[in-house]
Chain A
Amino acid sequence: MKNPNFTIEEVRDKLFQGEISAVEVVKNCLEQIKKFDKEINAFITVLEKEALDEAREADKEIVKNKGILKDKPLLGIPIGIKDLFCTKGVRTTAASKVLEDYIPVYDATSVDRLRRAGAIFIGKNNLDAWAHGSSGENSDFGSTKNPWNIQYVPGGSSSGSAAAVCLGMALAATGTDTGGSIRLPASFCNLVGLKPTYGRVSRYGVISMASSLDTIGHFTRTVADSALFLGVTAGFDGKDSACPDFPVPDYLSNIKTGIGGVRIGIPKEYLVEGMNTNVKTIFEESVNKLQLLGAEVKEVSLPNTEYANAAYYLIQTSEVSSNLARYTGIRYGNGRERFGEEAKRRIMLGTYALSSGYYDQYYLKAQKVRTLIQQDFKKAFLECDILVSPVSPTPPFKLGEKTSDPLMMYLSDILTVTANLAGIPALSVPAGFIDDLPVGIQFLGPQFSEELLFRTGFAFEQNTKYFLKQPVIFENEE
């Protein structure tokens, strides 16, 4: 199999037709890992033996009864798991030296659901340690590189997950999005990245970053694959008290409906000063395409946007300082002296913002601004069905470009944090290239509007087909 660029949909079809075996699919992924991962560093742990064993079992099941592929929608499909998700018996590090030898005794709920759906775990993906980062450069296990150009960052914090799917090392990968950590790497790696509604997917067993902001999502090559994946992970879980008992629709059934008459708002404040002109052009061209596809496009205003990033960094770091207090090395892992620089920085910022004398000024104030941001979205969604915006004010940046200036790095998130503050879903899809570096756009919708996001993303994707383009790294491999 020369071209590893199959989608889950295509592989499922081939498995059903008997054209390919699960073992072959897994072998292809392992081949990609062997070829490229020394350079790319998308994985902290590779599960070669386990994946092949599981593939053999999957093949037996399929031979016995092809119909099993309907009951187990991910049977035989190799996926990457961001190393923030607890996997029973398999090392889970959060990409930090504090947990470098931690072996969980249980699976995260989302991991368990993926397992039951037949998914094969090919490995644990690299990330910014503790999910603290926007570039993939904060890992205690080395930076991940962008497969489109290895001098550039893949985006973070779900850096390894994105790079792996990009190179066919996996057909999908899990991620978390607390302030953009799925959407930014998706945008930088030419992938579809879903940040679901807060609480849509259980957070149980995923190492917590900021409890009111964390969402569990995933990377795929196409929108249909993303919809299939969400159908597996979404739904009520009693072990996550912020996971409501809201029904899970069949996300694929209406995906091809098209967007005739869909009202799409463009938040004018998101076209920020200093936005890269090429990014702006790609965005404007994308909006034109949406109009040609039948959508009604209009400008809307989210007036409190300029305060979102500051509010986010106060709330997030406050919650981080609380969540990371449990890592003392007593019950598991190692001591706190092993925290990396970024972790220390965020813990201290949060500790300060919550401390006596400062709580009102920082944390409480930020929570009030959060309310205003939520109100902005509510108002906007009265006039339109969804919103569209760029994901990042810049295209992918170079490794090392922002590492010496934390504040500059934090500014990468200005267009993504609002969705987390409001708890709304967002879908990042490929929208073009600048010098062979991918640029995405994101659709944002009201809570639990993932179906509409998929419908819109699908219409845009089928019209533009950016997902068919492959990184140059393949052309050099003959």
Chain B
Amino acid sequence: MTSKLSGQEVKHVAKLANFPLTEGETEKFRQQLSEILEYAEILKKVKTEDVKPSSQGVNLENAFREDKAEPSLSPEEVLSGAKDKQDGMFKVKAIFEE
């Protein structure tokens, strides 16, 4: 089994990605991600010193519009999917506790 990633790294990545992992999942993903990253090593064979990266296929730049207010969604529509709301606002976890 490849050991490209450590269990610690997997846990760290899951923390960055903001979702929980069980111990069993951590090990399973450790193996699978290591294998996939091993496969991605093939890119090392490509000479890219003088190559510019491409982020897109169609090469559009500065797709702007007039800074004019246009009709949008109502506050009710916007809040319609929230499970926690109060006074016309989304309720989130407290950042500062008293």
The interface of chain A, by Cβ under 8 A from chain B, is: 102-103, 105-106, 197-199, 212, 238, 241-242, 244, 304, 306-307, 310-311, 313-314, 321, 325, 328-334, 336-337, 339, 344-345, 347-349, 351-352, 355, 362, 364-372, 374, 406-407, 410, 420-424, 447
CB-contacts of B36-81 with A (<8 A)? 36-37, 39-40, 42-43, 45-46, 48, 51-58, 60, 63, 65, 73, 77-78, 80-81
Q: Which of A331, A366, A371, A407 contacts B82 (CB 8 A)?
A: A331
- The residues of A that contact B42 with a CB separation of less than 8 Å are 306-307, 310
B55–A212 CB distance below 8 A: yes
Residue of A nearest to B45 (CB): A307
- Asked if B96 lies at the interface with its beta carbon under 8 angstroms from chain A, I say no
Beyond A307-B45, A313-B36, A329-B83, whether A368 also contacts B53 by CB under 8 A is yes
Q: Which of A103, A330, A372, A421 contacts B51 (CB 8 A)?
A: A372
Beyond A244-B60, A344-B19, whether A371 also contacts B54 by CB under 8 A is yes
- The residues of A that contact B73 with a CB separation of less than 8 Å are 105-106
B57–A332 CB distance below 8 A: no
Q: Which of A307, A330, A372, A406 contacts B92 (CB 8 A)?
A: A330
CA–CA, A198 to B55, complex, Å? 12
- Asked if B20 lies at the interface with its beta carbon under 8 angstroms from chain A, I say yes
B48–A368 CB distance below 8 A: yes
Known: A105-B73, A242-B63. 17 other contacts (CB 8 A): A105-B80, A212-B55, A212-B56, A238-B65, A241-B63, A244-B58, A310-B43, A321-B17, A328-B18, A329-B83, A330-B91, A368-B51, A368-B53, A369-B48, A371-B51, A374-B57, A423-B57
Question: Is chain A's interface secondary structure helix, strand, loop, or mixed overall?
Answer: helix
- The residues of B that contact A421 with a CB separation of less than 8 Å are 57
Nearest CB on B from A418, distance (A): 11
B90–A447 CB distance below 8 A: no
Nearest CB on B from A432, distance (A): 31
A351–B43 CB distance below 8 A: no
User: Mask for B5-30, Cβ within 8 A of A = 1, else 0?
Assistant: 10001100110111111000100010
B: number of interface residues (CB 8 Å): 47
Nearest CB on B from A6, distance (A): 35
Nearest CB on B from A86, distance (A): 12
CA–CA, A199 to B59, complex, Å? 10
Nearest CB on B from A317, distance (A): 9
CA–CA, A406 to B52, complex, Å? 31
- Asked if B3 lies at the interface with its beta carbon under 8 angstroms from chain A, I say no
Q: Which of A304, A332, A337 contacts B46 (CB 8 A)?
A: A304
CA–CA, A367 to B56, complex, Å? 9
CA–CA, A331 to B19, complex, Å? 17
Residue of A nearest to B49 (CB): A368
B33–A371 CB distance below 8 A: no
B84–A371 CB distance below 8 A: no
- The residues of A that contact B25 with a CB separation of less than 8 Å are 344
Q: Which of A105, A242, A352 contacts B78 (CB 8 A)?
A: A105
- The residues of A that contact B84 with a CB separation of less than 8 Å are 330
- The residues of A that contact B81 with a CB separation of less than 8 Å are 102-103, 105, 331-333
CA–CA, A344 to B17, complex, Å? 9
- The residues of B that contact A330 with a CB separation of less than 8 Å are 82, 84, 90-92
Beyond A103-B81, A313-B40, whether A331 also contacts B90 by CB under 8 A is yes
Nearest CB on B from A313, distance (A): 7
A314–B40 CB distance below 8 A: yes
B63–A348 CB distance below 8 A: no
Residue of A nearest to B50 (CB): A368
Beyond A102-B81, A198-B56, A345-B29, whether A366 also contacts B63 by CB under 8 A is no
CA–CA, A364 to B55, complex, Å? 9
A355–B13 CB distance below 8 A: yes
A336–B54 CB distance below 8 A: no
Interface centre among B18, B58, B78 (most CB of A within 10 A): B58
